[in-house]
Amino acid sequence: MAEQQIGYSKKVMEHFMNPHNVGVIENADGYGKVGNPVCGDIMEIFITVKDDRIEDIRFRTFGCGSAIATSSMVTDMAKGKTLDEAMAITRDDVATELEGLPPRKMHCSNLAADALHEAIRDYRSRQGE
């Protein structure tokens, strides 16, 4: 039987206490916003794109520690990647990179990946793709 994670990993705590890529990009090339009405978490991701790569990425998150940690992690994972590579980042990828999340907090990793994908879709729609 698989062991169920109860607390937070060191990596989650590091990204919560010292999140990376926090902030807003004015006049971003792409913007994604997602939320979960059940828990109240809201995530915004801003991207700038150059030569089909995410050149810069920032986030603003209102929510729990897991929401902040997953936002920080997904921005680290996506920065420098092509748009297609970033679109391939899954909800599970985010949780795995954070060395797991407690089951009741898994929805937070879902929001982070979803916000990234929304920002990329927004960029592509602005480009007429």
Strand partners, 50: 53
State how far the Cα of 116 lies from the Cα of 7, in Å rounded to an integer. Answer: 26
Of 10, 8, 54, nearest in space to 31 by CA: 54
Per-residue model confidence as pLDDT tens digits over 52-83: 999 999 999 998 888 899 999 999 999 999 99
| Active-site entry in 22, 39, 87, 106 | 39
Determine the average pLDDT of the residues in 74-95: 96
State how far the Cα of 87 lies from the Cα of 6, in Å rounded to an integer. Answer: 29
| Active-site entry in 68, 89, 101, 108 | 108
64 catalytic per annotation: no
Residue 28, helix vs strand vs coil: coil
pLDDT at 99 over 50: yes
> Is residue 81 within 8 Å of 51, Cβ to Cβ?
no
Report pLDDT for 108: 59
pLDDT at 116 over 90: yes
**Of 70 and 109, the one with more pLDDT:** 70
Of 107, 24, 118, nearest in space to 70 by CA: 107
Determine the average pLDDT of the residues in 8-34: 95
Mean pLDDT of the chain: 90
62 to 15, 44, 68, 119: CA distances (angstroms): 15, 9, 8, 17
Report pLDDT for 4: 46
Residues near 126 by beta carbon (within 8 Å), at least 6 away in sequence: 29, 30
